[in-house]
Chain A
């Protein structure tokens, strides 16, 4: 069984419907958003079904919602209402694996001056940091999997922390369900460097002039743990500068810092998650190539003995590309690497180890457009990690993504 029975049934219905509609030229799938309120409101949706092999040993593709990104049914409905030129409301509800829908985005957008590209957004807002988080998954993600920085669960948790370096080292490659002696005693999933599966809540401003775009935001959560309500020691500040030096180029640098630990963790000060990011995109003809790097550090309330390490870090970097070989068919691939800073445990004469197991991921495959807004993808993904119960695993996955 690849997916739960109820999801299988729905998937079957969707596949039959899609296949029938795609074949019958008289009844293709709808192509554009539904409009209402004299064209000022637009509603669109997406259905993304991913079928892949089971992964309940290595947990390479599990997300912060304990779902497997390569075995996921995602339904989304988004709407925008623009009652006037200067005011807009935007929202999206989403259900993963047919669970109760949740508000993924819900914010108000204001443009105070008509002739200036200066916008204020407040609510559950799009991510300021990095580039991948603002790509529409169904249309912009060239492969099926996510970049490690945005999905792979490190062993760090926001509600439980290690007391010693050994507590951390013993959890290497166990980010799906880690446990620590301080804080919550219930095992639970760790956090990624930046999550792509939940947006933060706060206020964001954006100013764009020519090739320069500046964005800043104040939010409740952190990159690793976006929050609807603040449960940590204060607000996160994030900023991004993006340049378009020429047509086809986008170069960006980002930074963010904010308290990341839940208040129930004993702390005399609010330890921070600090992150820096750099991204670049170039596209031309039938090519699109992207690269992004994220460097994140997390501080602890107390240094971890025996080496008294007060901060741990992680660096993720990847490159991806897509080439359209015919109007309907494209090839795509991504190479990804996630590494961690080292620390020494209490065992004498042992070398320092990365505090979590480094991961290498390579994914490649192809996509076929059956319709402008209906694509089938098939990918192979290899993962390597020098720790945990499973050190390497290859996954084959297929996906159909439809949006209107």
Chain B
């Protein structure tokens, strides 16, 4: 119980941080020739095991095993450079529903992005969120169909399935483009960062936020920042 409470506390804090993303008044103007890269790894010291489904005493048989949850971390700048707010055309992200699991489990997008929620299972799903950032309820829809949601406000959106209580996911909505979801090895890379002083923040749903100060020199270059996130 306490763990969950702490989780939400950090989420609330992060929501505030994310919303402040546009306030980078002190960030230097963009100078592409001198931009730098922030890269590194995010390691979870004690990766949590997947939460079990809620015991259902009314089931007539064993429940189907679900795909393991891929709890990836997200690294972002706070505040972000002005250039981060430029608009770009990018492919529409998807959050699929397969084997009673959301894929990906963590999705990071820029505010104003529309996300597709296809159903690739043979059963109904009912994607919904009661998050203050964006609440929605897509209703029940069958395999092969998809519905979409546009996310206009920065913050964290927790996504659930109304039919399968064990299904959950996170959508992190940023007001800028300086964020990165780590790869399979936990590596991240924030490119084209203009010279200046920033705070790099690492987020994971199962760990408290961690942040580090970083300076991108006028000459640009790479800066390596590694994180080792602890357990809540």
Chain A residues in contact with chain B, CB under 8 A? 25-28, 30-35, 38-44, 78-80, 82, 85-86, 88, 90-92, 104-105, 109, 111, 117-119, 121, 126, 133-136, 204, 206, 208, 213, 215, 247-248, 283-288, 324, 326-328, 369, 371-373, 403-404
Contacts and interface: CB of A to CB of B under 8 A. Distances in A.
10 contacts: A26-B8, A27-B9, A33-B51, A38-B49, A39-B51, A88-B62, A126-B59, A215-B60, A283-B124, A285-B140
A27 B4 CA distance: 8
B135 A285 contact: no
The 5 closest A-B pairs by CB, nearest first: A119-B61, A42-B52, A80-B55, A285-B139, A327-B137
Nearest to B123: A247
Interface of A is mostly: strand
Contacts of B146: none
B53 A42 contact: yes
Contacts of A371: 130
A27 B8 contact: yes
Interface in B119-147: 122-124, 128-130, 135-137, 139-143
B62 A136 contact: no
Nearest to B61: A119
A280 to B, nearest CB: 16
Nearest to A28: B8
B8 A25 contact: yes
Contacts of B61: 109, 111, 117-119, 121, 206, 208
A126 to B, nearest CB: 5
Given A27-B8, A111-B61, A371-B130, A32 B124 contact: no
Given A247-B142, A247-B143, A283-B140, A136 B129 contact: no
Interface string B46-82: 0001111111111111100000000000000000000
B122 A206 contact: no
B62 A39 contact: no
Given A33-B54, A42-B54, A324-B139, 10 more contacts: A25-B12, A33-B55, A35-B49, A80-B56, A88-B62, A90-B59, A92-B57, A248-B140, A326-B135, A328-B130
Contact of A30 (B5, B137, B142): B5
Contacts of A40: 52
The size class of the interface chain B forms with chain A is 35 or more
Contacts of A104: 57
B49, B60, B140 — which one has the most chain A CB atoms within 10 A of its CB?
B60
Contacts of B143: 247
B188 interface: no
B100 to A, nearest CB: 14
Interface of B: 1, 4-5, 8-9, 12, 49-62, 122-124, 128-130, 135-137, 139-143, 160, 165-166
A95 to B, nearest CB: 15
B124 A78 contact: no
A78 B57 CA distance: 7
B61 to A, nearest CB: 3
Contact of B57 (A27, A85, A105, A208): A105
B135 A327 contact: yes
A327 B130 contact: yes
A2 B51 CA distance: 39
A377 to B, nearest CB: 16
A109 B141 CA distance: 31
Greatest chain A CB density within 10 A among B61, B137, B140, B160 is at B61
Contacts of B9: 26-27
Nearest to B136: A327
A31 B61 CA distance: 24
A43 B142 contact: no
Nearest to B160: A372
A324 B137 contact: yes
Nearest to A135: B58
A372 B130 contact: yes
Contacts of B60: 119, 121, 126, 134, 204, 206, 213, 215
Contacts of A247: 122-124, 142-143
A29 to B, nearest CB: 8
**Counting chain B CB atoms within 10 Å of each CB, which of A104, A135, A285 scores highest?**
A285
Contacts of A86: 62
A372 B5 CA distance: 15
Contacts of A369: 130
A213 B55 CA distance: 21
A30 B4 contact: yes
Given A27-B8, A372-B130, A326 B55 contact: no
A96 to B, nearest CB: 16
B210 to A, nearest CB: 19
Contact of A42 (B8, B55, B59): B55
Contacts of A135: 58
Contacts of A372: 130, 160
B139 A32 contact: no
Contacts of B58: 126, 133-136
B12 A26 contact: yes
A117 B55 CA distance: 18
A328 B129 CA distance: 9
A232 to B, nearest CB: 25
A97 to B, nearest CB: 21
B99 to A, nearest CB: 16
A135 B136 CA distance: 25
Contact of A79 (B55, B62, B137, B160): B55
B54 A44 contact: yes
Contacts of A213: 60
Contact of B5 (A28, A105, A126, A373): A28
